[in-house]
Amino acid sequence: MKNELKIALIQSDLVWENPKQNRINFTKKIEAISEAVDLIVLPEMFTSGFTMNAKGVSETMDGETMRWLKGLALKTNAAITGSLVISENNTFYNRSVFVHPSGKIDTYDKRHTFTLAGEHKVYTAGKTNTIVDFRGWKISLLVCYDLRFPVWARYTQNYDLLIYVANWPKPRINAWDALLKARAIENMSYCIGVNRVGLDNNSYEYPGHSACYDVLGEKLSQIKPNIETTEIITLTKSEIKRYRDKLNFLNDRDNFSLLE
């Protein structure tokens, strides 16, 4: 078990509906990381941008991108996470994958599909949470629009870190900033959000604002908006326990269960 977890947040532009070029671009960014890290976080739909052309960009779980991720995870001895379009059983998913250096893969299908963009008409929503066990840390995987729904992320399982990957547009970026901080505070958990930058082919602008917050809502990252950049942050597990034990806020939370 590691008390410290070193994480690389990659805030990047995306090439529209071009998985091959996006893999090339992210290979360069990952290979440019100059120190050993435990985990690398990529944005939502990092191979394509936020497209409803699922058929045109989808891959399988044994496709080129998954083989590429496994190879990079092994080479860097770091896990890699982000979401991409996956086709499975004649159904499309906006699927977050967590690829361990060992080749093990954990997955989470985006629960809250973005109805404003018609995502619910193309992609099937997930039904379950995913908590990843990695180097002694428990990590909850979530995707973009999930951020607006606190019940889905509520601390009812023993996790240490929430990770949201996103294509969150500029007009609503204040909500992104506020809700990332809120999820950290209310769950007394580290909370990371990695958002893309640039323009997509629908002329939507994405300003980044990727960030990491601690259990008290203090911002730990210094990522500037509107630029492609990689920032490495170090999280300390003992700090979570220290504040949870001292303040005991989670002991007073409401008990509930989620029903379909």
Q: What is the dihedral of CA 101, 197, 200, 88, to 10 degrees?
A: 20
> Catalytic one among 70, 110, 181, 237?
110
44 is known as an active-site residue: yes
List all residues 6 or more positions away from 197 whose beta carbon is below 8 Å from its beta carbon. Answer: 11, 12, 13, 206, 207, 208, 225, 226, 227, 228
Query: How far apart are alpha carbons 221 and 231 in whole angstroms?
Result: 8
Residue 218 falls in the annotated catalytic set: no
Half-sphere exposure of 89 (CA within 13 A, CB side): 2
Selected catalytic residue, list 70, 119, 144, 237: 144
Q: How far apart are CA 160 and CA 105, in angstroms?
A: 19
Beta pairing class for 161-166 and 190-195 = parallel
Catalytic residue among 44, 59, 119, 231: 44
Structure tokens at 244: 């949870």
Q: Which residues pair with 206 in a beta bridge?
A: 198
Based on the residue annotation, tell me whether 110 is a catalytic residue of this protein.
yes
Query: Which residues are part of the catalytic machinery?
Result: 44, 110, 144
